[in-house]
Each structure stands twice: as C-alpha cells, then as structure tokens.
Structure 1
Amino acid sequence: MDPVLVDFATRPAELANAVVRHHRCVIASSYVVVASGGHLKVDFAVEGGEDIAETVLSVTVLGAAVPMDVTLNDEMVMDGLSLSDDEDPGGVREYLVSVPGKILQQGVNVLRIRNTDHADADNDGSLLRVRAITVNPAEDAGRAERDLRVRTGGRSVWTFATERRTLDAPTWQPGPRLLFHLDRGEGESAARLSWRGTDGAESAIAFRSDLSGFHGHFRAADGVIGELRGTLTERRAVADAAADDLGRYFATEEERDGVWRPVGQLRLLLDDGGAPVERVTWSDRKGDATSLTLRTAVTGISGPSATGERRDVTGKVSRVEASEEFDDWGEVAANLLHKASNKWLAHEDSADLEFTFDSPVTVNAYSLTSANDCPDRDPSDWLLEGSHDGRSWARLDTRENERFGRRFDTREFPFPNTVGYRHYRLRITANSGGTETQLSRVQFFDVDGGDTPPQPGISDFVGYLHHVGTEPVGYRGTTVPAPVSVEEDGTDAEELLAGDFSDTARSLQDAAHLLDRLTQYLRP
C-alpha cells in the first residue's frame, strides 16, 4: 500500500494518500487541537489485490498526555491509551501501534482519532494536540516520513523556539529563535548541525527524526556553556518566505583529482539571533557530511559604500522595549519609532530603551528628538550599546552633559562602528534635573552601500563534502543572486487544494490519486 502521511507542521498541511476531516478541532500553527469528545478522521486508499500482513500506525502529539481512542474501519486499535507525563510534560510524544492487515479493506479505509478525556474542556490538560499521523507497511516503517523529507526538506524554512540551561542552572530559560534553511538539491534534511558565530559563540544540535525539535549544547561568546533545545513553531515553503528569510545562495564546486567542477547550488540560512555565522557543519540521516567556512565580508545593507551617504534604518526595528513607560496615557516606547507629536515618558530620572532589529545592522549614527514640554525631562547622560544576542552588550557611544535647544529638537550623534548588531540599547543614566524622563523620537542610521555584489572568481566559502562510502572532496562556493524560482528540476512546486479542514484538505497530486476511489464515499 501507499504510505499514509498527515503532517500538520505546515500550513497548508502536507498530505499523502489521505483526506482529513474533523469535529470539535482547532487548526493551530503547527498542530491540530482536538477538544474533549472531538475527533480527526483520515480517509485513505488501499489498492485492490494487495496482501498486507501488518501496518504500523504512528500518532505524534505535543504537550500534556491525553487519553485517546483510535479506530480503523470501526475496529478498536487503541482504547483510551495515554503515555506518562513523568519525563517531559510539555514535550513531543509518539504513539506506535501495530495494526493487523486483516483490519484493512480494499478501497477506502477510515482511521479515526478521538479525544476521550472527559475533563472540563476549558482545562488545558484535556486538549489533544496532534502534529502528525502516519500509516506505513510494517516492512517499510518510516517510509512516509522519508518521503516527506525528500519532498519538502529543502523547500522549507524552519523556525524553532529555543530554550537554554547553563551548566549550573536548575531551570530552562527562553532563548532567541532559530531560523534555518538548507538545500543542496539532494532532498535530505540535516540530522545534526553545528555552527560558530563571528563573536566566537558556538552551538551544536541534533534534530528529532520528524524535525519537530532538537537538543544540543552551546558555548556563548562570554564562555558560558550549557544545554540548548528547541521546538518547531513554524515551517514555511520557501516560496512563501520573506526575502530576508532566504539566506544566501551559492554556486558550488567540488574538487576531484585537482580539478574543480560545478555541482549545483547551495541555499543556506542560519540565524540564531546572534552574530553572523562564519562556520557551519552538518550531516544528514544517510551519514553524508558537509563543513564550510564562510567569508563574512559580504554584508548586504550593512556594508560600506563608496558614496558614504547616511541611511535611516529605523524601519527595520521590529520591537522596542522600555524599562518604564506611561501606559495609562499612551506615552509608550513604541511612539519613539514614528514622527509624531506623541512621546515616550518614564516616571524615573534614568531609564533603558532596547531596540531589536529584524536582522543585524551596522549602526554608526543615531538621533534623539526632545519631547513637547518640560526641558528638565530631556536626557543629558547616556550610553549606546550593541548586542548580538540581547544578553552580552558592547559599549558603542557615551555622552555626558548634552542639551537640547528647543522642543522637538533633533540632534544626531555619529560614532565609529563596523560591526552589525541585532540589538541596540540606549541607557539613559541622567536627565536635565527632572523626576521623569522623556523623548519624542529615536532614529538609527547606517552607511548606505546597497547590496554588496560578489567579486567574480573569489569564493565565499571553502570546505569539504564527504559522502558515505566515498573519499572526502574539496567544496567551495561563490555568492550568486537569488533565483527567481526555487525549483531547479524544471517542475512546478507542489500545490495544495485550499479548503476548510471540515470538508477536505489534500494536495492536488493526492486528490488525483484518490478521487476515483473516494467519489462514491464522499457523495452526500
């Protein structure tokens, strides 16, 4: 039989040999929530004449363990089964059940997964969160997952929420997100990954088999070591990703017998919220390994320019936070990013403002605009600091005894800087004598050089490739513009038939495969 795959980690879901319907369910970002008494139904087909002795059913769930019933063609497969919460009450669980082939029937089969927890539906513990469902022939277990990785692994941008626990700490603490995309045109996704930033920070992780998360370790730029773990929060098709989330593109070559030969294109994105990456090593589940060191001089918008023109990059700030703000009157830190008559006010004579950019930016000037009243609230002494990760800060500029000449007076402060940071912090240590501190606007500037073009003939990474069963070879790549289409084999990307999950949700390819066998079954 063709394997059955239902993967809710993407929107729309990835399906193979399946039509999904639901009752009392909610579609979340990377799973489906099944409320108490609700169920998911998966219709799949078995070709006539197939002799199947046994299949393996896998149901992957997230969060607290919730009892569930599973039936196949109205035959009970799992009756109120629930795994223990002892080890990791918030983790990923996989239920594996052997299903006798005699339960299957030729044509359409109906698999139903029901939440049998009768607790109050408002109780979070009664919600069953289903990430994936597969049915594989016993002699080829895992085929559905392998097919999915080949079909979507290189076409996906993966986003993970991370947590860190330092060596001596008893609890996990939230960390920056990890954004990851890797495609060398071979279909396989990374199973293990390690990288080093330009600030010396290092991390190494191993992914779960379904890429729903990872576990690993890190060494921060300041030498602190600890554990690192992550949970998949989003998986987007490359075609749907923002331009800034597609990383860098390289034309690559292999060296064999002293001769360099083209071997296709590499697309690489690795953003852990810290400094730019300078070294990356990964291996896939087949055991093939790749390692490369990147040239970090190509810096895009942060690169130096021949013109030296200053550019306002404040629009790239994605978040601003203040140590204190006057929320009741709407005088909050977010006002600082816009040209208007409103302001930010803190009921203190000192305060901190932290600005987070979408990606690292090399700021070498900033401006402050005084507010509408009370000159004694103007900042007079402050520090500007930069950080790759929001934890370790470098001092960039120091000012003392500064004065603003009038209300809504904008003053610009240049300073030397060649390093791109994602976080900038303005630490106001004193104002002009008042008990409160205020500003109308903060702006950041860099030197406008546009996108720095690659230099012909100069490699932008060097490393090695080592395929299982062969000798290692040299590997290098040169930056090239992003292609218009991400498909390299001349075919169109797989499309999905849009529709409400309560009706159908299936890919066009699977719809064509199943339509002739499901028409009668689905007819009202």
Structure 2
Amino acid sequence: MEPVFADFSTDPAQLSNAVVAHHRCGIAPSHLALGAGGHIRLDFTVDEREEIAEAVVAVTVLGASAPMDVLLNGKSLAEQLAIPGAGAHSDPQVTVVGVPGELLRTGDNLLEVRNPEGAEGLLRLRAVTVAPAHDRDRSERAMAARSARRSVVAFGTEVRAAGSTGWQTAPRLLFHIDGGERALPAHLSWRGTDGAEAAIGLRADLSGFLGHRRTADGAVTEYRGTLADRWAYPEGTAGAPLHRFSTEDGIDGTWTPSGELRLLLDDGGAPVERVTWTDRRGTTASVVLSPGGAPAVQETAGELRDITRAVTGVEASDEFEMAGEVAENLLGKSRSKWLANDDTAELEFTFDHPVAVAGYRLTSANDAPDRDPEDWLLQGSHDGGHWTTVDSRTGERFRQRHETKEYSVASPAPYARYRLSITENQGSDQIQLSRVQFLACAAPAAGPARAADFTGYRAPRGGAPVGYRGTTVPGGQEEPEGAQAPAKLLAGDLGDTARGLDDAARLIGKLAEYLKHS
C-alpha cells in the first residue's frame, strides 16, 4: 500500500496517493475548516499485490474542535467522535481509528471525514493519513519527509519587553538549514556579528515558535513567531544570505567528507556568525562562521561606489512642506533642498537590504550658510529602535554653496537603517541640506560576501559529538537546476501516487470530475 496522506498545514496542500474533494469547507493557511455538515473525501488506492489485515486512519485536528464522523467506502468507522484534549490553545491532536481489513478494496477507496450536521464549532483538519496497522507510521514518515522538502521557512515575528503587556512587530525571520538529513529544526539559536542573540523552540508543525532575544545593546525581550510561508528549496532564497558548504566530519584527527550543508538565517539584523540547532531526529549541531570571505573579483583598495539608490525611504524630524523643501529632495540630483524649522534635526534613511556604509557625502544648500550643519552623528540600526554610532563630526564648515564634502566611516558594518542626527548648526534656528549620498566598498558582481568557512561539532541523538567543518562551495548561491514547485491543492502528487500511466490517467479523470461538480 502506497503511503496515503493529505497534509493541509500549508497552502497548497501536500498530497500522496490521494485526490481530495471538500464541501462546506474553508481553506486557511494552516488547516481546512469544516463547518457543520461539511466534509472532505479522500480517494486513494490499494495495490492488489498487498493483503492488509487491518489499517489505521489518523486524523490531526487543530485547537478547539467539533466532533467528527469517519467513514470508509460508505461504512461508519466512528460517529460523533470527540477530540480528546483539544482546546483553544492546545497543540494539534491526533486521533487514530482502526479499519478492519475487509473494508479495504483492491483499487479505489473513499475515506470521508465529516463535521456532523447541527454540530457547534468548526472541525479544523491539519492532516489525514491511512496506513497498514503493522506499519502504522508509514504514511506519517512519508508526510514528514515531504514536509522536510519545504525547508525554506518564513515567520512573521513579534517581541515584548520584560514587564510589558504589548507585543511589537519585529522583522521577518527566514531560515533554511539542510545538511542532507531532511529533518527540520526543533530548536534553533544564533548570534549576529553585532552581538545580538536569539533562541527559539519551534512547534512540531512549524506553525509558530516561542523564544527570547537579546539586542546588541543588551536589551532582553520575549520573541514569538507565526508561520508566514514555506517553500521547497531554492524557492524563497532569492536575495537572501544563503551559504553552501562542503563539509567534513572529524573523529580522532581523521576528517572524512560528509556532504553539503546549506545554511540561511536572516532575522532582519546583522549577518549571523554562530548558529546552533537540534533537528526533529535529535541531531544537534553548532557552527561558527569565519568572518568575511574572498570576493569573486579583486577590488581596488579604497574604491567606493554610490549606493544611495538602495534607499527606499527617508523620514525627517521636521521639513518645510509648504515650500516643497522636504527630506525626499535629499536623494535627488537636482539643486532642491530639505529645510527643518529647528536648530537640531534627525534624518532616518531606510535601505532595501542591510548595507555597510563606508563613507557618505553631504551637500550644502543654496543660501543661508548659518543653516549649515556643524556637529552631527551618523548612526546605524537593524530595527529602528537601537542605534549604534558609526561616525561623528564636530566643527564642520562648508566654504561655499552647493559644496559636497565626503566623510569616511572607520569600521563599516551592515545596517538596514541609518540616521543622521544633527546636533548643532552655524547659528540659525533652521537647518538645511541639498543632498545626502551613501557610499560602500565596491562589491563583486557575484553578490554579497559569504562566509569562507565554518568550524563546529555535531552529535546524533544519544551519540558522541564529532568535529564538523566546512568550506564554501564555489558559486554557492546559485540555484540548482530541476527545482520543482509544490503540488496544488486537490491535484495530488501523481509522481508519488501513480505506478504507471494508467494510474495517472485514472486520478486525472477523478480530479476532473471533482472540479466539475465542486
């Protein structure tokens, strides 16, 4: 009997040896919601070469749930079955129902899961599997393996300060960790190059996580996330800081090849320098990335390029809107200007990705030299709440109008936001500038720098740790050929389902009938 499962925890659903139709059913991102009188029908096949004395149906439901009826080939297996332990905030619950072997037919079979007429509440289905009783985990294993293929995971996140009751929106968390085991993380922690740290525990169905964070300046918050999307690699990784390593395991000083590790972790902050994880099989690994990495092409020492075009927005503490002298003018090449009606001011620039500003230019405006900035700070931030000073200037003077002066940053580090905080001008009660430009070291055409190596360890469940090291794969951010998109809801996965063209034709015909009458 081929593994039979319908996994509704993602949209589109993941199906194997199954075609699914539904009635009075809403499709949510993480489940199917059956109203009173609603049902799903799962059409699957049993191979004539296998005799099954008994089978089991496993139904996974989410949260507070209505009772359910389960039928196979028109025969009732369970009626008004209550879901034990299901509550509004409970983990997904699995209910197992036995199936006498004589109810299974060689060839086509039809399994129905219903929310009975008149029932109160919704029946929220996460997954349904069918398997022989002697190998009852067969379909769950196949479903887990399919789920592991969708190993690029994105979460919407929130943070809450100690003692606070309100959650604040935080940057998206995106990760992908694959060392060939096809097992998703259960626990994950990391540290950024700026010293910020986080650790999270992931729900078994990856619907969310809970953990804690510490920012670069030491502020501690609770940290939680809700599943936003999942993809099969390499989908979802475009433009992300993906590392690919050729790895080795070390035992007693002897190193042997151990395959490839793909590592991506982006929390909207500084690049990661250390990542530790435990996967669903209990394997633990921890790696520290070596800083930097040789660029693909040789750069000219000291050469800078203008990256102002990467700024997606600028906000000012004040601007003279009536005269059109707004902060947006600072990003253009015209001789327009920005004017603030105050003797101190702040300008905040947001980039489309974290950039390491190595220098910047300020251009004076057309008139009133006493409005020119004299003292200021340039600061960087990952979240817009915590700022690090990257450059400071005092006693600066512009000798003429529309003069451009360039300033260097001693220790560039990547930030997604930069703030120019002007603390003193030349004596006026207003401040003005004509233009602000940002500069970075010339980058290779191959994209952002990647870590050259890593060192660490890993250990299987209950086993001794071994050395673990890796070297960057050349062209490590290129997408492999042959990547496949996930299956569509109701379509099934004919590659896993059909043993031949006849089976494929049969399933396609059934799918067409379902769609015709849905």
TM-score over 0.5 for the alignment?
A: yes
Find the aligned partners of 1:79 and 1:178 in 2 and give their Cα distance.
38
Instruction: Establish whether residue 15 from structure 1 lines up as the match of residue 15 from structure 2.
Output: yes
Q: TM-score, normalised by structure 1?
A: 0.76
CA deviation after TM superposition for structure 1 residue 192, in Å: 1.5
For 1:413-442, what per-residue CA distance to the aligned partner results, in whole angstroms no more than 9, with x for missing partners? 333223233332222445677777666653
Aligned ranges 1:60-209 → 2 under 5 Å:
60=62, 72=71, 84-85=87-88, 88=89, 94-101=92-99, 106=105, 107-111=108-112, 132-137=126-131, 144=139, 146-153=141-148, 156-209=151-204
Q: Label 1:105 to 1:294 Cα distance change in 2 as closer, same or farther (>3 A).
A: same
CA deviation after TM superposition for structure 1 residue 161, in Å: 1.8
Aligned ranges 1:5-404 → 2 under 5 Å:
5-9=6-10, 12-21=12-21, 30-31=29-30, 41-47=40-46, 50-60=52-62, 72=71, 84-85=87-88, 88=89, 94-101=92-99, 106=105, 107-111=108-112, 132-137=126-131, 144=139, 146-153=141-148, 156-245=151-240, 247-298=242-293, 305-318=299-312, 320-323=314-317, 336-337=330-331, 339=333, 350-368=344-362, 381-399=375-393, 402-403=397-398
For 1:6-29, what per-residue CA distance to the aligned partner results, in whole angstroms no more than 9, with x for missing partners? 24535x54332333456687767x
Task: Tell me if structure 2 keeps the 8 A contact 1:154–1:183.
Answer: no
Instruction: Establish whether residue 461 from structure 1 lines up as the match of residue 454 from structure 2.
Output: yes
Q: Label 1:398 to 1:418 Cα distance change in 2 as closer, same or farther (>3 A).
A: closer
Q: Label 1:4 to 1:150 Cα distance change in 2 as closer, same or farther (>3 A).
A: closer
For 1:279-311, what per-residue CA distance to the aligned partner results, in whole angstroms no more than 9, with x for missing partners? 22212122222122221132869x994432111
Find the aligned partners of 2:25 and 2:428 in 1 and give their Cα distance.
56
For 1:305-347, what per-residue CA distance to the aligned partner results, in whole angstroms no more than 9, with x for missing partners? 4432111223444554455568899987666555568776767
Find the aligned partners of 2:93 and 2:272 in 1 and give their Cα distance.
37
Q: Label 1:344 to 1:160 Cα distance change in 2 as closer, same or farther (>3 A).
A: farther
For 1:187-235, what per-residue CA distance to the aligned partner results, in whole angstroms no more than 9, with x for missing partners? 1122112222233332222211112222223333333334322222121
Aligned ranges 1:442-453 → 2 under 5 Å:
442-450=436-444
Find the aligned partners of 2:24 and 2:434 in 1 and give their Cα distance.
49
Q: Label 1:391 to 1:520 Cα distance change in 2 as closer, same or farther (>3 A).
A: closer
Aligned length in residues = 496
3-state SS of paired residue (1:153): helix
Task: Tell me if structure 2 keeps the 8 A contact 1:370–1:404.
Answer: no
Q: Label 1:221 to 1:377 Cα distance change in 2 as closer, same or farther (>3 A).
A: same
CA deviation after TM superposition for structure 1 residue 459, in Å: 7.1
Greater shift in the superposed pair: 246-255 or 465-474:
465-474
Task: Tell me if structure 2 keeps the 8 A contact 1:381–1:402.
Answer: no
Find the aligned partners of 2:341 and 2:315 in 1 and give their Cα distance.
15
Find the aligned partners of 2:185 and 2:55 in 1 and give their Cα distance.
33
Q: Label 1:520 to 1:196 Cα distance change in 2 as closer, same or farther (>3 A).
A: closer
**Counterpart in the other structure of 1:122:** none
Give the counterpart of 1:477 among 464, 470, 493: 470
Give the counterpart of 1:505 among 483, 491, 494: 491
Structure 1 counterpart of 2:493, one-letter code: S
CA deviation after TM superposition for structure 1 residue 39, in Å: 5.9
Find the aligned partners of 1:324 and 1:508 in 2 and give their Cα distance.
61
Q: Label 1:130 to 1:351 Cα distance change in 2 as closer, same or farther (>3 A).
A: farther
Q: Label 1:239 to 1:25 Cα distance change in 2 as closer, same or farther (>3 A).
A: farther
For 1:89-148, what per-residue CA distance to the aligned partner results, in whole angstroms no more than 9, with x for missing partners? xxx7524333342697542425456699999xxxxxx9x796842325477666555434
For 1:441-476, what per-residue CA distance to the aligned partner results, in whole angstroms no more than 9, with x for missing partners? 533111115279999xx9721111212354322111
Q: Label 1:330 to 1:239 Cα distance change in 2 as closer, same or farther (>3 A).
A: farther
3-state SS of paired residue (1:147): helix
Unmatched tracts of structure 2, length 5 or more? none
Unmatched tracts of structure 1, length 5 or more? 120-125
CA deviation after TM superposition for structure 1 residue 182, in Å: 0.8
Find the aligned partners of 1:394 and 1:181 in 2 and give their Cα distance.
29
3-state SS of paired residue (1:509): helix
Find the aligned partners of 2:71 and 2:454 in 1 and give their Cα distance.
52
Find the aligned partners of 2:44 and 2:160 in 1 and give their Cα distance.
46
CA deviation after TM superposition for structure 1 residue 477, in Å: 1.0
Find the aligned partners of 2:250 and 2:117 in 1 and give their Cα distance.
59
Task: Tell me if structure 1 keeps the 8 A contact 2:53–2:100.
Answer: no
Structure 2 counterpart of 1:414, one-letter code: S
Q: Label 1:484 to 1:231 Cα distance change in 2 as closer, same or farther (>3 A).
A: closer
Q: Label 1:191 to 1:328 Cα distance change in 2 as closer, same or farther (>3 A).
A: farther
Task: Tell me if structure 1 keeps the 8 A contact 2:305–2:442.
Answer: yes
Greater shift in the superposed pair: 239-248 or 130-139:
130-139
3-state SS of paired residue (2:216): coil
Structure 1 counterpart of 2:191, one-letter code: R
Percentage identity across paired residues of the two chains: 42
Task: Tell me if structure 1 keeps the 8 A contact 2:242–2:477.
Answer: no
Structure 2 counterpart of 1:255, one-letter code: G
CA deviation after TM superposition for structure 1 residue 497, in Å: 5.6
Task: Tell me if structure 1 keeps the 8 A contact 2:152–2:235.
Answer: no
Structure 1 counterpart of 2:457, one-letter code: Y
3-state SS of paired residue (2:386): coil
Find the aligned partners of 1:315 and 1:285 in 2 and give their Cα distance.
43
Structure 2 counterpart of 1:44, one-letter code: D
For 1:329-384, what per-residue CA distance to the aligned partner results, in whole angstroms no more than 9, with x for missing partners? 99876665555687767676644333344443221212345678998876555321
Q: TM-score, normalised by structure 2?
A: 0.77
Q: Label 1:483 to 1:108 Cα distance change in 2 as closer, same or farther (>3 A).
A: farther
For 1:249-269, what per-residue CA distance to the aligned partner results, in whole angstroms no more than 9, with x for missing partners? 111112234222222111111
Q: Label 1:156 to 1:136 Cα distance change in 2 as closer, same or farther (>3 A).
A: same
Task: Tell me if structure 1 keeps the 8 A contact 2:269–2:383.
Answer: yes
Give the counterpart of 1:415 among 409, 414, 418: 409
Structure index of larger Rg: 2
